[in-house]
Each structure stands twice: as structure tokens, then as C-alpha cells.
Amino acid sequence: MSDLKDILNSYQPACVALQETHLKPENSFRLHGYSVFHKDHPANRASGGVALLISNNIPSSLLTLNTPFQAIAAQIFTHKLITVCSLYLPPNTQIDQTNLNNLVLQLPEPFVILGDLNAHSQIWGSDDTNSRGRQIEKLLHDHNLCLLNTDEITHFHTPTRTFHSIDLAICSPSLLPFFSLQTDPDLHNSDHFPIILTDNRHSHLQTVFSRFKYDLANWTKFTSTACITTTMVCDNPIDTAVNQITETLIAAAENSIPKTKNNFGRQRKVWWNSDCREAYKNQRKAWGRFRRYPTSANLILYKQAKAYSRRIQRRSQRELWERYVSSLNSTISSKKLWEKVKKASGIFTDHNINILYQNGIPVTSLQDIANCIASTLSQTSNSSTYPSSFQNHKKLAEKQKLNFKSNSYAPCNTDFTFHELTVCLSEVKKTSPGPDNISYQMIKHLSNSSLQNLLHLYNRIWHEHCFPSSWQQAIIIPIPKPGKDPSNPLNYRPIALTNCLCKLMEKMVNRRLVYYLEHNQILSPFLSGFRPGRCTIDNLLALETDIRTTFLKRQHLVAIFFDIEKAYDRTWRYGILQDLFNCNLRGNLPIFIQNFLRLRQFRVKVGYQLSDLFIPEEKVSHKVVF
């Protein structure tokens, strides 16, 4: 695994084809930034086996192959849609030419086959040609395929100290002008040299948006430079004031908070130290000496250096593990404990980008995938999804305009206080920032004077009934629903990232709304969600009580459980406002909610690509409003 990580760090490939993985079906391994697909030996033993490692930033789709061979294939999108197949043909095994032909016919063109075929032929640099080599030659001829190998050495046979060419790259003719092949000079503790296939139309090195490293922040410097002035919030229109505050906070963060490096997809080896580095350096020197002078003495020296390097690496891994386990003691918090347990277990969240199919047509590029999901989300919230009877009711109801304007000085419409701001700020959790890249950590470290001026801006928005245009936009992160087909754009759960400056004001408004609803006993006593001091356990306990009472009285109990599909997405906005109106809410509070629901916009983010701007017709993202 260590050597595989070195290869990934060196070349940062879009896709890796592995053979002789020696995995059992119950075995699995994961790598950050890559999706791993593998097919193991049919005899359920640790022998042979193939795998594909596909970058999570490359749209891909696994293919189903009907073949007796150890083969696995997937389609990936780099410059265009390409099929990649990893194939292993064991030596001293009879291979049926018909099965080879059937495998090729199952691969959508254009395709490339990468495999350890154990075939010798003078065409690709072998000293002689064996029967397996003649079979591959026939395959190339019958299907008009191209061989990317020339005479590169791909295998080192240790017992005989000889080099061979048995690992091949075969492609469709349309790919030949764009692909070039080379081999890595280092074995990486294998007996095969890695084959590097390069598509000159595509570079997998993509722009990676760096993140702020808050644990290394100089908060004193940030507080002194992130000054929200009275001039900003008093002398400018609200949109201008919001933009100036955003620019001020981001500029202060750039000067006081370090950022992550743009090491795209880098695989970490935390146990790697100077001893490992020196031992591995000596191993490579011994290998280079043997390549120049392939004598028995030099081979023995290389094996000794290789064994020593492995021993040093295992020792380093063991020592790190001992230190890691020793850090688990009674003083550690439960949060840190579970973080360490998940790291030790290799549990982490990683989502690959799946090729979508819309009306049977593949959607392959990042931009098109993002737009496809965004369009689907927008259509889901469209009122055309309502039944025709409800649409007629909706048209009639919306003819009546709701007038929330009032001169009422009710407590829910007064200015927000500094106490309300600090209480809401103390309750926020660490969440991802929205489109403006301002986090709660930044807001928490503002000076009191800056927070006072921010509060003044909130009160201007509250009384002037002007909702900032930049707060109307959100970034949607699509998460595939577990157990559903990821190629269907309907099977994604949207996670909305909105600006934290906006969410902080939402929290203050929400506290007042909840107080009004509770104080006036508008909410049902059986409703437990989002209410303080209550949770879903209350409903379960109430159900248990009813069941026990029914048993005691020898009666029947009917319980109905249902889940409203896409409830938030299809919530009728006007209906919510009408409910607020019927609750006798007037003034700033319902007007803010009305402005909040009006003209929401979003972009879907897939990988590092944003979709076009879309507008949901009917959608509510706040649970209390829902």
C-alpha cells in the first residue's frame, strides 16, 4: 500500500489498473480521493485478482462484464468518454480465443485494455513468441486494435535475473494518436514496472480550492484587521455594506489564517520518517547498481537493502501505532476519541462522481453533470409536480395578496439586541461556509465593536425590509442516496451551503418565531421536532404508552407511519406565508420570512465545477418555517 501511495503521489493519475491484487472478497481497502473497484479470484483465495482505482474528481461508471476472466472495466470521462479495462491472464492457463473476443466486444469504444497478460511476442520486445503471444496478436488483428507498447521492459523475473515484456496496453485506433506509454524505472517493491499511460489531451491536475486552516490561525491579528466600521454599515446601501463586510473579513483571513496547500489527492504516510527515507534511498541505489551491473552479488545486495527498508518501515509503523493507541486515555474527549477510532478503522467520507443518464443519454462532463442535477432539483420544486386539483386551488389562493405591513411595536418586531446576537453566535456549530467563504469561526473572533456594527446592519435589514441579494444564493452539494442508482439524477440529496452571515441572522429571527409560536400555543402539543426540550424520543414514548394502554384494555390500536417524499422541495411558499398571516403575525418578522423565501438561487457543485444559476420555484430550507 505504501508503494501504491508513492505512485499516486508521483503521477496523480485519473485511473489506475491493478493486477494480481491477491484480495479475497471479504477484503477491501480504501484510498483518499479514489474509488476502488475490484474483482477477486473466483476460487475465493488470495490469488490473482484485478482492480481499478478511479479518481473521485473524474466522472465514472462501473461496467458489468460477462467473462470468465479476471477482468473489470469502467467508463471514465477525461477529455472524452473512455472505457478502461484491467485484465489479468495467469500463466500456464489455457485461454479460449472466443472468450477474449467476447470480452473485447463488451467494451464500449473507445477503450483501453491494461493488463498482465503473460504473453511473449517479438512484436512488443520479447526474444521469442509463445502461444499466448500469438493469441494476443490474433486479437489485435481480428478487432483492428492498436498496441501502445514498443519494446519496453515491464517485468523482472528474480530467479533467473531476466527482464520481460508481458504487461500490455491495447487501445482502440481512435486513441492511438493521443496516448503515449512509458514505464517507471522503479519496481516499487513489485516484480512489475508500473506502466504510465498519458493522454496528451488531458491533464488530471485540476485547480483545487484551498481551505483556511483555523487551528493555525492568528486570531489576534485577525481581530485587529477585520474591522467592520460604522461607515460601512450606515453610509452605504445594504448590498454595498454586505459586500464591503465580506471583502474586509476575507482580506483579514488571507493575512492571518494559513491555507491548505494545493496538493491535489496527495496520499499521506504519517509514519514515514528520516530513517524510512534513508533506507528507501539505499534500496533504490542498490537497484540502480544491479540494473547497470546485473551480477549475483549486486542482486543479493539489492535484496538485503530491500529487506532492510521494509523492516525499517514496519518498525516505524509499529511505533506510530503504539503512540497513537497510548493517546487514548481517560482525559480525551468523546469527540476526539471517535475521530481517532474512525481514523484507525479507515472510516472516512468520500464520494465519487458518477456518470449520469438522462432519458438514456449519458451525461459525462463535470459541467453537464452539475447542470443536470441542478435542473432536476429545480424541476422537482416546480409547481407542475402538484396534482391538477391542488394547482387550481393554488392559483385561486395566490390571487389574494398578503399584506404584512404594520406599525405594530410587538416584541417580535423590535430591534435585535446584542445579547440575542451573542447567544445565537455561541450556539452555532462548525459548518462549511457558503459562497462568500466566511465561516462562523471568523465571525466569533470579531471584536465587540465590529459585532455591534454587524448588529446595526442586521437591524437595517430588519426595518428596511431589504434582503441582501448575495444572501439569496446557495451552493448545493449533491450526496448520492444510499442504496439508490447513482446514475439517476433524481437519487441525490441536496446539501445547501449558505452564507454564515445570513444564517446567523436567520437564527435570531428563528428564536423570535419559535417564541411567538410557543407563547401563543399555535404549535400542536404532539409536535416534537425542532422544539426546545423535546425530541423524537417523546413521540416514541407516547406511542409506547398508547400501545401498553391498548394491551391493558384489550383494544385495538392503529398507527400510521409515512414519509413525505421531497417535502422541503415541494413546500408551497404562499401556503407558509398564509399560515403566518392567519397566526396574526404582522410587521418585520413575517416580512423578513417573505423576503427570505423570495427569489432563491442556487448552483450545484460537482467536484470543483459549479453549475449555472438555477431558481427553485417552490422550496423551503428552514425546518421551523416548514
Burial class of residue 613, CB neighbours in 10 A (0-12, 13-18, 19+): exposed
The answer to whether 170 and 148 have CB atoms below 8 angstroms apart is yes
Q: Does residue 243 sit in the same domain as residue 304? A: no
Residue 504 has pLDDT above 60, yes or no: yes
Q: What is the pLDDT of residue 624?
A: 53
Q: What is the pLDDT of residue 236?
A: 92
Residue 203 has pLDDT above 80, yes or no: no
At residue 257, the 3 state secondary structure works out as: coil
Residue 626 has pLDDT above 50, yes or no: no
Q: What pLDDT, in 10s, does the model give residues 294-344?
A: 999 999 999 999 999 999 999 999 999 988 888 888 888 888 888 888 877
Q: What is the pLDDT of residue 363?
A: 93
- The span from the CA of 132 to the CA of 91, in Å, is 9
623 part of a folded domain: no
Q: Does residue 188 sit in the same domain as residue 279? A: no
Q: What are phi and psi of 240, to 5 degrees?
A: -65, -40
Q: What are phi and psi of 22, to 5 degrees?
A: 55, 45
* Mean pLDDT to the nearest integer, 585-603: 88
At residue 171, the 3 state secondary structure works out as: strand
DSSP 94-162: ---HHHHHHHHHHSPSSEEEEEE-----GGGT-SS--HHHHHHHHHHHHTT-EE--SS---EEETTTTE
**Lookup: cell for 13:** 493519475
Return the higher-pLDDT residue of 209 and 591: 591
621 part of a folded domain: no
Categorize the per-residue pLDDT at 260 as very low, low, confident or very high, splitting at 50, 70 and 90: confident
**Lookup: cell for 347:** 472510516
* Mean pLDDT to the nearest integer, 198-227: 83
Q: How many other CB atoms are found less than 10 A from the CB of residue 485?
A: 12
**Lookup: cell for 339:** 475521530
Pairing, β 601-606 against β 473-480? parallel
Q: Does residue 550 sit in the same domain as residue 583? A: yes
The answer to whether 197 and 177 have CB atoms below 8 angstroms apart is no
- The span from the CA of 143 to the CA of 277, in Å, is 47
Note down the domain range covering 80: 1-199
The answer to whether 424 and 203 have CB atoms below 8 angstroms apart is no
- What number of residues does the chain have? 626
At residue 469, the 3 state secondary structure works out as: helix
Residue 611 has pLDDT above 90, yes or no: yes
Q: Does residue 177 sit in the same domain as residue 71? A: yes
162 part of a folded domain: yes
Q: How much of the chain is helix, strand and coil, in % rounded to 5?
A: 40, 15, 45
618 part of a folded domain: no
Check which CATH number belongs to the domain holding 96 and give it. 3.60.10.10
Residue 151 has pLDDT above 50, yes or no: yes
- The span from the CA of 275 to the CA of 124, in Å, is 40
Q: Does residue 330 sit in the same domain as residue 425? A: no
442 part of a folded domain: yes
**Lookup: cell for 215:** 487551528
Q: Does residue 176 sit in the same domain as residue 217? A: no
Q: Does residue 309 sit in the same domain as residue 175? A: no
Residues contacting residue 300 through CB under 8 Å, at least 6 positions apart = none
206 part of a folded domain: no
Residue 619 has pLDDT above 70, yes or no: no
Q: How many domains does the chain have?
A: 3
Looking at 76-80, 276-280, 443-447, which range is the least confident one?
76-80
Q: What pLDDT, in 10s, does the model give residues 28-75?
A: 778 888 999 999 887 776 678 899 999 988 999 999 999 999 999 999
Q: Does residue 576 sit in the same domain as residue 501? A: yes
Q: How many helices (H) and strands (E) does the chain have?
A: 18, 19
Separation in Å, CA 64 to CA 25, 85, 171:
17, 11, 19
Residue in 68, 101, 70, 102 with CA at minimum distance from that of residue 85: 70
109 part of a folded domain: yes
Return the higher-pLDDT residue of 618 and 125: 125
**Lookup: cell for 360:** 438514456
Q: Does residue 52 sit in the same domain as residue 132? A: yes
Q: Does residue 174 sit in the same domain as residue 249? A: no
Q: Does residue 289 sit in the same domain as residue 174? A: no
* Mean pLDDT to the nearest integer, 208-237: 91
2 part of a folded domain: yes
Per the prediction, the chain carries an average pLDDT of 89
Q: Does residue 233 sit in the same domain as residue 332? A: no
Looking at 293-302, 385-394, 510-519, which range is the least confident one?
385-394
